[in-house]
Structure 1
C-alpha cells in the first residue's frame, strides 16, 4: 500500500451534498444517483473551481457513523477543494476543513473494489502498526481517472489523522 502523511492548511470542500446511506461493498446506488443527476456542465464548472489539493473532482464523506455501520447515513459531497478566501457560488454546499494532517493512500485497480479494500487494509493493517489514529473530519477520494488498462482506476484516499 503506497501511503504518505500530508500537512495541509485549512481549505474548503465545495459542491453538491446529499444525505445517503453507507454501502461497504460495490457501487453505492445512492451516491451514483446523486452524481448522475448533475448535468455534465456542472461537473465541468466544479472542476474549474478547484484550486488546491486534493485535486480534481472529489467524493467526500462527512458526518459518518463512528462505527461505520452498513446502512447508516452520511453526508456525501461531489465537489472540489478550494483554498480559503476563494469566492464560492451561492448555489454550492460548503464543508470547511481546518488545517491538519492526512494519511493519503494511493490505489490502482478496479473501482470501487480496490478503494474499498485499501480502506479495510488501512483499518486492520496500517493503523495498528503506525503512530496515527483517525481524527474528526471528512474522508476524501480523489479519482485520477482510468489508466491505460481498461477498468483500472488510480485514486487517492485522504483520511484525517493525528498522532496517537
Structure 2
C-alpha cells in the first residue's frame, strides 16, 4: 500500500503539471493502482494526516504561487489556468490556503504556506503487536437509534455523547435483548463516513445492536450484507486507546496485510468499562476484503 500511495502522488503531480485546472479522477487512479477509491482515500488521510482532496488543493495552490512570480502572466491568466472563472474566485481559494492574496505574493513574494510533495515511508517497529482476528459475518441488521453528527478525531465526541445520553437506560436494555449475533452487546456504529475522513464532516452514528431477526417498529436500521471483518481488540484509557488503534490500522496493520477496507459501517463493541479508572476493553470491527 505504501508503494501504491507514492504512485498516487506521482500521478497527481503529473496530472497537475499537465492540466492544473482539471479535477483528479481518484476512482480511476485507484483502479490503475489495483485498489479501491474507498481504501485509497482512507489510507491517504490516515497516513498523511489530511484528506486526499485537501492535499490536491494545497498542491494546486502551491503551484499557482510559483506561477505568480512570472510578470508576463496577469492574475486572470493564472486564475483561468487553475480552473477559476475570475480573479476574485481564485483569490479566495488562494487566500484560504496561503493566508495571503495573490496580489500580496506578487508584490512581496509572500507569506506563503507551500505544501511540499508528500512521500510515504513505512517504519516497522514490531514492538507493539495488534490483537487482531478475521471474522466472517452473515447478513445482519444494525438496529437502534441513529443521528447525524460531525466527525471528531480526538477525545470524546460531544455530539455522540449527547445523543447517547438522551437514550433512556431501559431502552438500551431493550436493544441489548435483541442482540443475537456478533458483534455482541450494545454497539457504537459509524456509517456513511466521508471517504476522506475530514474533521467535522458528517457521519451517521447509531447506538444499537446487531441482529439477524426482524427488529421492532420505530428503530433505525442499517442493513449489512454478508462479509469479512477485521476485528481489533483494544484495552486502556477510553477513548484514547481505541482512537490510537483506529489510527494504527492504517499506519501499521493494513500496509503489511493482504486486506483492504471495503465500504460499510465501522463498529465498536465495548466489552468492559471501568468508569472510575476511565479505561475500557473494546473490539473495533472494520469491513475488509482481500487486497
Q: 1:4 to 1:149 in 2, by over 3 A?
A: farther
Which residue, out of 53, 57, 79, partners 2:208? 79
In the alignment, does 2:269 pair up with 1:142? Answer: yes
The count of aligned residue pairs is: 162
More helix by share: 2
Q: Deviations over 1:15-54 (max 9, x none)?
A: 0000000000000000000000011111111111111100
Q: Which has the larger radius of gyration?
A: 2
TM-score (norm 1): 0.96
In the alignment, does 2:159 pair up with 1:22? Answer: no
Looking at structure 1, the residues matched to 150 and 208 of structure 2 have their Cα atoms a distance apart, in angstroms, of 18
In the alignment, does 2:239 pair up with 1:112? Answer: yes
TM-score (norm 2): 0.54
In the other structure, the counterpart of 1:67 is: 196
Q: Deviations over 1:36-94 (max 9, x none)?
A: 001111111111111110000000000000111000000000000001xx131111000
SS of residue in 2 equivalent to 1:52: coil
What are the ranges of 5 or more consecutive residues in structure 2 without an aligned counterpart?
A: 1-129
More strand by share: 1
In the other structure, the counterpart of 2:281 is: 154
Which residue, out of 220, 237, 244, partners 1:93? 220
Which stretches of structure 1, 4 residues or longer, exceed 6 Å deviation after superposition? none
What are the ranges of 5 or more consecutive residues in structure 1 without an aligned counterpart?
A: none
Aligned 1:40-59 pairs, distance under 5 A: 40-59=169-188
In the alignment, does 2:141 pair up with 1:12? Answer: yes
Q: CA deviation at 1:150?
A: 2.6
Q: CA deviation at 1:147?
A: 5.5
Looking at structure 1, the residues matched to 265 and 181 of structure 2 have their Cα atoms a distance apart, in angstroms, of 16
